[in-house]
Amino acid sequence: MQPDNQIRSYFETLYHSWGRQHWWPAQSAFEVIVGAYLTQNTSWTNVERALGSLRAARILSLRGIRRTPLPHLERLIRSAGYFRQKARRIRIFVSFLDERYAGSLTGMFAQPTVKLREELLGLEGVGPETADSILLYGGNHHVFVVDAYTRRILDRHRLVGARASYEEMRDLFEKALGPSAEQLLKPISAPAVASGPSGSGHAPSCMSIAQRTASAQVFNEMHGLIVGVGKNFCKKSQPACERCPLQKFLPGAE
């Protein structure tokens, strides 16, 4: 099976099994951006604690971050790890938004994808995964987010070489899923969700149910589904291949 056909089969298999993932869980585009910074090198559980602290302090907004002294911001996000570094970088993003786009997320996200991606990658602490998370989940841009789970699954299924770059993997998913996005979303109205893990599913949130283009929705769902595979089955050590919905696609599987 060609890699692009196999990627589409992954989506169909996982989406039919687990349904919508409601990923990324957030109440606003700015919360998506803050979460994208906080999730670096830590678990989502720790991110949720940090976001909860920001929300309880009523500063999970552009205005709130602007007026909060850096030491206080650091204390509030301590659970996410690297809290001094992350607090500084969140503040750098807010300064960038204020200086370049007069504090308007709408104005920022209205920019062409290539231009905005380059600007984000120029900010301290923003690599491809963080930039693409902001673009896709915060701004409905047509980019696929590649993470460590993605690389692990593609490597174990021999869809990419061990030295494949982030951009090569991103391009693979975008070409495989983008052109057929509307068709991929059509067949699933009531997923046959089995007992056990349901991917990385979250409760619906303002951002997870926001209206998106078909391509952005498919990229969104596929990333959430891959996270579910990585967390529940394709683990770094002791993978549970025999229980994974993608087991049938492994090389040599019958």
The widest CA-to-CA distance across the chain, in whole angstroms, is 59
Task: Check pLDDT > 60 for residue 45.
Answer: yes
User: H or E stretch including 118?
Assistant: helix 113-121
Per-residue pLDDT reduced to its tens digit, 93-134:
999 999 999 999 999 999 999 999 999 999 999 999 999 999
Q: What is the pLDDT of residue 179?
A: 96
* Residue closest to 155 by CA, chosen among 174, 175, 169: 169
Q: How far apart are CA 69 and CA 37, in angstroms?
A: 18
Q: What is the pLDDT of residue 199?
A: 74
Q: Are residues 51 and 31 in contact, defined by beta-carbon separation less than 8 angstroms?
A: yes
- The pTM (predicted TM-score) of the whole model is 0.94
23: preceding bond cis by omega (within 30 degrees): no
Q: Are residues 14 and 246 in contact, defined by beta-carbon separation less than 8 angstroms?
A: yes
Ranges of each domain in the chain = 3-24+144-188+197-249, 29-139
Read off the pLDDT band of 253 (50, 70, 90): confident
State the average pLDDT over residues 25-49: 97
Q: Express as a percent the part of the chain with pLDDT over 90.
A: 89
Say which CATH architecture domain 3-24+144-188+197-249 belongs to: Orthogonal Bundle (1.10)
Q: What is the pLDDT of residue 162?
A: 81
- CATH of the structural domain 29-139, one choice from 1.10.340.30, 3.40.50.10240, 3.90.1150.10, 2.40.50.140: 1.10.340.30
State the average pLDDT over residues 179-206: 74
Q: What is the pLDDT of residue 158?
A: 95
State the average pLDDT over residues 40-50: 96
Q: What is the pLDDT of residue 190?
A: 47
